[in-house]
Structure 1
């Protein structure tokens, strides 16, 4: 068994080919609200429990319901105020449960990408046919509801199989949010396609700061501003990416939202230097302008762990 999964090459940060975002912007900023649906009585999985407490967990279920009933609408109003488009990490099943949310998001020209069918159904133990069915369902259902072909993927509850990345590349997804190895896009080593690892930070994810770390809203705002300032500074040499992953049931709480707005206000005050965009637009721009250049640089450094960026030898 290999000690390295060979998903990507070791690619030192310093000295890479310079990335220039559109109009000379230094930092590509995208924001990813997770609109999730949690089943009240989800099926059991031998490797992971769907709720921290025993099923049924009416407390956890109702908290997530609040996010879709109240929190998401509050968050959309805030984004409208700053003319920001979200890239929605979508539990595909939510299209059937809350079509009003989908209609409101689509009307704003936000992006959708797949976060599996339900966030209570894990990829663990799925066979290839089952995983293909999830991807095909995701593509078909979003296209029928919105006319949009989804290009991004975040595995449900960050659960994977050994085939996940190869499969999403085969289905012509452009980017995955499941890896956290970089602050710039990077080519992944899949059997087919051109799949980009998109920066999607766990460090600034509100699930981590609020649910895991238990931070105050003020500390979260400070974290976001410091994170942005550092990436913007580095973006003077080569374009960086910042993503803020959000969950309406957390960040949209009445005592948190105004403080979060202070971070958005700071970021949006740098319009001359920041490309406000979506995950799909970043991935498309990188694939079209920097894919081949990145592979050549990796190869020239002699640090490839196997494969060429298209067909790995796993």
Structure 2
């Protein structure tokens, strides 16, 4: 995929306006597919320098930055797990796969709960920026192999490390055997993704707006307001899901959401959502596979029909 010629869009997905799409139905006729995406990450204390991006905002050694993130692996994940257990929710782990070696106990606790594991690269302080295709493919393959070796799971999904991408990222992951990406942020329903190999591949909605790091660090929103944001998003998607199934993703970081003064807001939102009928408590893998099995071909045909009409 060349980056030299001007492009109007990334060329990764077609367009269908919301009200023109084939209806999506979820298992049990649910209105909303709810999936929780805990980011279980490892940040190196002194990572290799990358000329495209600094790993830490402060000069090394950034004790503050490292310690803040280490809090999640030491304390936060267990708190988060207990809340998810309370509501019968299984996490879909966006995993820095180096953590399989650094803190296998955290992964064991998630595996005992039958959580999904998908790739978030090796370290969250090593980026896709500056890698050629061979190097990026090696990184993707290594992360998938680590997940298979340590958990027995096939790695179906991908969220690029620290959201760093190349023009070939999605193509490479599809070619390595992946089935879905979380990296497009463009919709509230799954959509087919165009890959150079022609493999069927899907985007599963992943919300940056409800990502706790964006909420707390970038937008500086108070915990109680974050809990209300999750509820408000659910209410809208639940109403629209009466007509065609929607997806609500809540991405979490245990060093953000699991602090003692913040966790109650998330717990209150889960209590509210899970009190409703018509909520499919899913994983990213389950959403992707259901869409691929039941709706992918319909969406492709509908987009082809629209394109044919526009070209007539």
- TM bucket (normalised to shorter chain) is over 0.9
Structure 1 residue aligned with 2:29, among 14, 24, 28? 24
User: Relative to 1, partners in 2 of residues 1:19 and 1:37: Cα closer, same or farther, differing over 3 Å?
Assistant: same
Aligned to 1:309: none
1:267 aligns with 2:289: no
Deviation at 1:71, TM superposition (A): 0.5
Structure 2 residue aligned with 1:79, among 59, 84, 89? 84
Aligned to 1:312: none
Aligned to 2:38: 33
Counterparts of residues 1-314 of structure 1 (less than 5 Å): 1=5, 2-192=7-197, 193-270=199-276, 272-302=277-307
Write out per-residue CA displacement over residues 195-215 of structure 1, whole angstroms, 9 at most, x where no aligned residue. Answer: 111100101110111011111
Contact in 2 for aligned 1:9/1:304 (Cα 8 Å):
no
Contact in 2 for aligned 1:153/1:176 (Cα 8 Å):
yes
Secondary structure of the corresponding residue to residue 211 of structure 1? helix
Secondary structure of the corresponding residue to residue 250 of structure 2? strand
Contact in 1 for aligned 2:120/2:161 (Cα 8 Å):
yes
Inter-partner Cα distance in structure 2 for 1:303 and 1:200: 30
Aligned to 1:308: none
Contact in 2 for aligned 1:117/1:138 (Cα 8 Å):
yes
Inter-partner Cα distance in structure 1 for 2:140 and 2:125: 16
Contact in 1 for aligned 2:28/2:278 (Cα 8 Å):
no
- What number of residue pairs does the alignment pair up? 304
* Root mean square deviation, CA, Å: 1.3
Contact in 2 for aligned 1:11/1:303 (Cα 8 Å):
no
Deviation at 1:56, TM superposition (A): 2.0
Inter-partner Cα distance in structure 2 for 1:22 and 1:127: 41
Contact in 1 for aligned 2:43/2:123 (Cα 8 Å):
yes
User: Relative to 1, partners in 2 of residues 1:146 and 1:233: Cα closer, same or farther, differing over 3 Å?
Assistant: same
Inter-partner Cα distance in structure 1 for 2:9 and 2:70: 40
Structure 1 residue runs of 4 or more that deviate by more than 4 Å after TM superposition: none
Decide which moves more: 256-265 or 295-304: 295-304
Gaps of 5+ in 1: 306-314
User: Relative to 1, partners in 2 of residues 1:60 and 1:151: Cα closer, same or farther, differing over 3 Å?
Assistant: same
Secondary structure of the corresponding residue to residue 51 of structure 2? coil
Inter-partner Cα distance in structure 1 for 2:84 and 2:63: 30
Deviation at 1:303, TM superposition (A): 7.9
Deviation at 1:304, TM superposition (A): 11
